[in-house]
Structure 1
Amino acid sequence: MAKGSIEQRGENSWRLTVDLGLFPDGKRNRPRKAITVEDKKILRSTRRLNEYLDDQLALFKQEVLSGEYIKPDKMIFSQYINLWKKKYAELHLAASTRDAYYNHIRNHIEPRFGNKKMTDIKTLHIVDFIADLKKLDARKDGKGKLSDRTVQYIYAVMQNLFTVAVKWELIKNNPLEKTDRPKAKKVKAKFYESEEVTKIINALYKEPIHWRLMMLTAIIGGLRRAELVALRWSHVEFNHKQIFVEKSIPLKRKGVNYEKGTKNDDERYVDMPNWLMEEFNDFRKEWLKQREATGDKWKGEENEYVFHAGYGTPFYYTHPTAWWKMFTERHKFSYYSLHKLRHTSVTVLIEKGASIKSIQERVGHKQTQTTTDIYAHVTKKLSREVANLFDELDPAKENSVPNPSPIKI
């Protein structure tokens, strides 16, 4: 029977070895595989760690003996992609991120590198690939050029793929290590100005109450679309006048809503104004009457989604976006995506004097860049308004200031 051994190589990395004896030429036949343990719960417990490593060694033995194991120097990129999907992407990436990664791998990355050996992919191959992505006909649908942001995203996917390959000791060096991240033109943050926000809120009072409350929660609370769809009554804390944000429904798979934590796992409490919480309270009473009238047709079980598509099931995740677009067209407002209501919320808070830190915590911005981009635009506008206050002192205007006395020498 094949023997196996485990050797620690780094702080949280180990090498698994299966000893198959000798090749016909007398050389040792010892397939090896590197693994990294990132789960802190496993690393904290010696017993758990040893059990985990033993399990991994047993799986590796099975892989070797069944003929599924491929030596790193023989592995081609397509084989690695299948391994990466199974042992990394499915375990560590959120479903929406995973889908986006798979899409770029399928459309751009694998067609280029699929048949190459992992060890043969060099820095210059990556440089040429990025240059080709920037060409005018790079889109697979024949509609011309890829956006700068898309090229950046594909580069990020490549970075992930080869970083993991280095960790697993399939290759010695990451071929992207000495390349420059593609640049993208800075996109101006889009949002509604405070004057238009007032008009939008007034128009929302001509709409059904559930849509009105959903959009007001986006504007005032800065919730993401997926967070609005996943909002339950248990998250609405009437006593503290807060909404607890902990869940999101970013997509649907095979007819089933995919519910998970928030985008950045940023569970947060969002304080709401008294008048809005009173409206939620009124809506709650109406919601309970509707549920009772539904009877056996109720499909929401005990989830109690605040905003549902009928019979208790949450809205299809793109439905609020479609409604918002129709609303802006119906009332002749500028159309910005539903997500821009988060940016609008930030704008209003900045104009009212809220600090950057408190805004970030409220809306769950992990990166400061989004908040500061909006802050820069708003402060420029406020600076202009302050400067305009001095227009009345223009000496060219009559009665602006008294004529100064002539200077005597």
Structure 2
Amino acid sequence: MFGVMQEMAWKEHLGGSKYKLVARDPSKISRPKKSHVVEVPPDIAKSVRKTEQWLTLELAKWADSVESGQIIKPEKMRFIDFVPKWKRGYADQNMGGNTIRNVMGYVNSYLIPEFGQSRLDQIRPLHLVTFFAGLTKKDGSPMATNTKLNIYKAAKSIFDAAFDWKLIPDNPIDGVQRPSAGKKEKKAMRSVKKNYTRAEVVTLLTALYALPSRWRLYFTGVMLGGYRRGEFLAVEWSDVDYERGAIWIEDQITFDEEGNKIESEVKTEESEGWVYMPQWYMEDLKRYERIWKKEKLSCRKWLGEDKQYLFHGGQGVMYYPSTPTLTWRRFLAKHKLPHVKLHGLRHTAGMLLRESGADLKTIQERLRHTKIGTTADIYTHESESISREAADRLEGLRPKRQQIAP
């Protein structure tokens, strides 16, 4: 086998730590050669044995790529031809099914119609700048910056991969400014209510008693524990620890690439962990568990198999991730309560902590953010109660009180 590989593929030393890997294409009658230059990493190059092992592995991978037909000359690679390779080589390895579905929606709706037939190496920054500057909705109205940003992220991921995989000499997206909201749009965004105040939370907790127990406890839990909607849907009774007073988060209910509901692991390692809850909430949950078990015993046909979801759509079947969103929106409208998106309950949990004096590290750990920068970006923006408190501290400087005013 090794003799065959030597005949089909070999390496040539170019000097220093650089080598040319050469392989023959078995799909061609004349078996033309295809080459690829690699550089041995400095820590490996120190050892002759490790260098040989590394080169043998790289040569085998290169030969396999050539044999499987995955190697296409950069000058012949169109954008539309590269997208499936990017999806298989990057998106499928690093994105969840629902994210892939959304990203591919932007790729198919905007990027492929614009760049599909263009060669990768001929797409320039100016082409991308012009494209983003002219982006509008289908009816010609202005496109939201967030939508432009999502299209930009999709394009960046694709061009970054093409550059990293040495299919293009320069990355055209590097010369494109990341879309950002204008002054008018930023003002409109600031006017959108993103979370509830502490006083509003008190009102909400009372109003939630109008809902069935499962939904009252679901929304209350999200508001106090800062769970993502899919995380809390995936919680089972085995994840509830009454003695600890906490709930274990490990999985989530989400959509796959085809739009079907599935259970999967949470996105990051940091998202996994115990979330401690108020004791009164855990007592409420315990009472609900007794009712839950009675309902299961009386269920003629349990469809949840061995799953024991706290919140399910009947007969143990997992909810669709979109069901809580719709239920929340209808609840607010029916009771004429201020509208905040369901994800805003997670922000509410963070703001309650911030307004109680918790530091950013505590909030980060509570909400299970991967980076504290994410926490800082969200929770260092204006909080009405904190801003009011800061202003009240200046009351003592009132000139007439200080007897310094004329």
The CA RMSD over aligned residues, in Å, is: 3.5
Distance verdict in 2 for CA 1:117–1:351, change over 3 Å: same
Report the equivalent of 1:322.
326
Shift of 1:92: 2.2
TM-score, with structure 2 as normaliser: 0.82
Say whether residues 1:365 and 2:369 are aligned partners. yes
User: Is 1:17 aligned with 2:15?
Assistant: no
How many residues matched?
376
Correspondence 1:376 to 2:374: no
Structure 2 counterparts to residues 6-405 of structure 1, below 5 A: 17-20=22-25, 29-32=32-35, 56-57=61-62, 59-64=64-69, 69-133=71-135, 138-140=136-138, 142=139, 144-185=141-182, 186=186, 187-188=189-190, 190-251=194-255, 256-265=260-269, 266-295=271-300, 297-367=301-371, 368-369=373-374, 371-378=376-383, 381-385=385-389, 387-388=391-392
Query: What letter corresponds to residue 276 of structure 1 in structure 2?
Result: Y
Report deviation, 1:285. 1.2
Query: Aligned to 1:243, what secondary structure does the other structure show?
Result: strand
CA deviations on 1:9-68 (whole Å, 9 max, x unpaired) are: 9xxx997632259x99x9x932246899xxxxxxxxx8998997576445424334xxx7
- Counterpart AA for 1:154: I
Report the CA distance between 1:273 and its aligned residue: 0.9
Residue 217 (structure 1) shift: 0.7
Unaligned segments of structure 2, at least 5 residues? 40-49
SS in structure 1 at match of 2:172: coil
Pairwise CA distance, 1:232 = 1.3
Q: Is the 8 A contact 2:149 2:179 kept in 1?
A: yes
Q: What amino acid is aligned across from residue 132 of structure 1 in structure 2?
A: G
2:5 is aligned with 1:4: no
Aligned in 2, Cα 1:252/1:164: closer, same or farther, shift over 3 Å? closer
1:393 and 1:72 map into 2 onto residues whose CA distance is 69
- Structure 1 residues 32 and 222: CA distance shift in structure 2, 3 A: same
Greater shift in the superposed pair: 171-180 or 267-276? 171-180
Following superposition, the deviation at residue 201 of structure 1 comes to 0.1
Distance in 1, Cα, partners of 2:158 & 2:360: 35
SS in 1 for 2:304: coil
Return the letter of the residue paired with 1:183: S
* 1:31 alignment partner AA: K
Contact 2:101 2:258 in 1 (8 A): no
Deviations 1:70-101 (A, max 9, x none): 32211111111122122222222211221121
SS of 1:244's partner is strand
Q: Which residue of structure 2 lines up, in the alignment, with residue 43 of structure 1? A: none
Letter in 2 for 1:29: P
| Larger displacement relative to structure 2 (52-61 or 216-225) | 52-61
- Bigger proportion of residues as helix: 2
Identity %: 30
Structure 1 portions without partners, runs of 5+: 37-45
SS at match of 1:73: helix
Residue of structure 2 equivalent to 1:39: none
- 1:132-167 per-residue CA deviation (whole Å, 9 max, x = no partner) reads 22xxxx223x26221112212211211111111112
2:10 and 2:286 map into 1 onto residues whose CA distance is 63
The 8 Å contact of residues 193 and 344 in structure 1, kept in 2 or not, is answered as yes
Cα gap change, 1:279 to 1:77, in 2 (>3 Å): same
Which amino acid is 1:166 matched to?
F
Is residue 10–residue 22 contact of structure 2 (8 Å, CA) maintained in 1? yes
Letter in 1 for 2:203: K
Residue identity opposite 2:127 in structure 1: H
200-209 vs 181-190, which deviates more?
181-190
CA distance in 1, matches of 2:219, 2:129: 45
Shift of 1:250: 2.3
Secondary structure, aligned partner of 2:235? coil
Q: Distance in 2 between matches of 1:347 and 1:372?
A: 13
